Amino acid sequence: MNPIQVGLLGIGTVGGGTYKVLTRNQAEIRRRAGRGIEITMVADLDTARARALVGDQVEVVADARAVIANPAIDIVVELIGGYGIAKALVMEAIAAGKHVVTANKALLAVHGTEIFAAARAKGVMVAFEAAVAGGIPIIKALREGLTANRIEWIAGIINGTTNFILSEMRDKGLDFGVVLKEAQRLGYAEADPTFDIEGVDAAHKATIMSAIAFGIPVQFDKAHVEGITKLQAADIRYAEQLGYRIKLLGITRRQPTGIELRVHPTLVPAKRLIANVEGAMNAVVVHGDAVGTTLYYGKGAGAEPTASAVVADLVDITRLHTADPDHRVPHLAFQPDELADTPILPIDQVVTSFYLRLQVADQTGVLARITTILAEHDISIDAVLQRESAEGEKQTDLIILTHDTVEGRMRQALALMQALPTVLAPIVNIRKEELN
């Protein structure tokens, strides 16, 4: 049987890794897929660099549309990224009857519903294992391995840049800005790290996992997104003293009234496995009713880890290339006409517990007034820690852990506490998840 022919759009870090892995493991892959898989055409604006990577046996062009127009190409791999030209090329590839493999989480989180509908209408597949958590096969686990389960919640460290920064802040006691510069110097953070440090990248990935877990359309615009730019070394230190570590988590959870979809810094008990994921590594915890809690850990980025996922998608498509489209695994795990319209809950309706740090005047009655405000909003206290403030002798840091409460109620209480003359700085509030 003739090999499946693949056209690669973009041969940067991941594209180069994909070509290398596919070439190196060609014999093993053929044994698994039932036929060969060959990259026969590459499109990249830097044609000289592309030719240096793939040699003379692969056709190299500057125009991506030439790949899509080639009738011999069976699968188009989109590794350009972003929302703009990448979307146009993916839609054109689908219209031309090509299967698509993409690592583009931003594109799928924002336009996935439209892309999957177009692919279904054309009878082609869109595979995207590499879009979430790099080399960790979390999409396949959610879509196939856990298909017997009613999934209750997912919590993931799904951005290596922010996890590296938080690990360094904890290990070295440094503030965010200092560690960010070091992360950029070492290549863990981009020159413009906004998507990473503001939580947008993690929110793209959480949106995709949420859709697969709960059978809902992708709805990135409804996700609550916070980054790590405001975190201070003091809070990481205090969290550690209380038995917690701070991680940027993507969380999605089923509730009776809707689905939670949120990304933000989170206190996690230090005894949890996910709390001990350090450096640029990723980890995703999934809780299903039948299987209980499962953990998926590994490299979330990099040339060959991400290429591992891209090539796995190529093998899946090769195996199902001639299958009846109705008998393939649905893009979002659930049959397209069975997707639910369950709402994404506004953050004010989310129930969680909190870490609060108040810089207060060292006076009698301050704690009593603060605890009264919390009690008036039905917010119960789990623990209180008082430490001398670095700002001076007449000030103190008051750290409070609360039990679960509705976020909207906490915001009302925070506004009243902030207005107290004895509260001397903006109150730090970080959500806390036990992940039982």
- 3-state DSSP assignment of residue 147: coil
Q: Which of 282, 311, 337 is the last residue of a domain?
A: 337
CATH label of the domain that carries residue 31: 3.40.50.720
- pTM here is 0.96
The pLDDT value recorded for residue 392 is 67
The pLDDT value recorded for residue 162 is 97
- Res 389 pLDDT > 80: no
* 428 and 416, same domain (yes or no): yes
* 311 and 282, same domain (yes or no): no
Contacts 24+ apart (CB under 8 A), 107-110: 107/78, 107/81, 107/82, 107/83, 108/204, 108/208, 108/218, 109/203, 109/204, 109/205, 109/207, 109/208, 109/218, 109/220, 110/83, 110/204, 110/218, 110/220, 110/221
Give φ, ψ of 373 to 5 degrees.
-60, -45
* 114 and 257, same domain (yes or no): no
When pLDDT is cut at 50, 70 and 90, the band that residue 434 belongs to is very high
Tens of pLDDT, residue by residue over 227-254, are 999 999 999 999 999 999 999 999 999 9
Domain-embedded: residue 46: yes
Q: Are strands 224-225 and 244-255 parallel, antiparallel or unpaired?
A: unpaired
- Res 325 pLDDT > 90: no
Domain-embedded: residue 342: no
Tens of pLDDT, residue by residue over 40-93, are 999 999 999 999 999 998 999 999 999 999 999 999 999 999 988 999 999 999
* 127 and 62, same domain (yes or no): yes
CATH label of the domain that carries residue 401: 3.30.70.260
Active-site residue list = 205
* 319 and 356, same domain (yes or no): no
* 77 and 178, same domain (yes or no): no
* 23 and 147, same domain (yes or no): no
- Res 393 pLDDT > 90: no
Q: Domain residues for 388?
A: 349-432
In terms of average pLDDT, the best of 140-149, 174-183, 313-322, 382-391 is: 140-149
Tens of pLDDT, residue by residue over 143-161, are 999 999 999 999 999 999 9
The pLDDT value recorded for residue 323 is 81
The pLDDT value recorded for residue 327 is 85
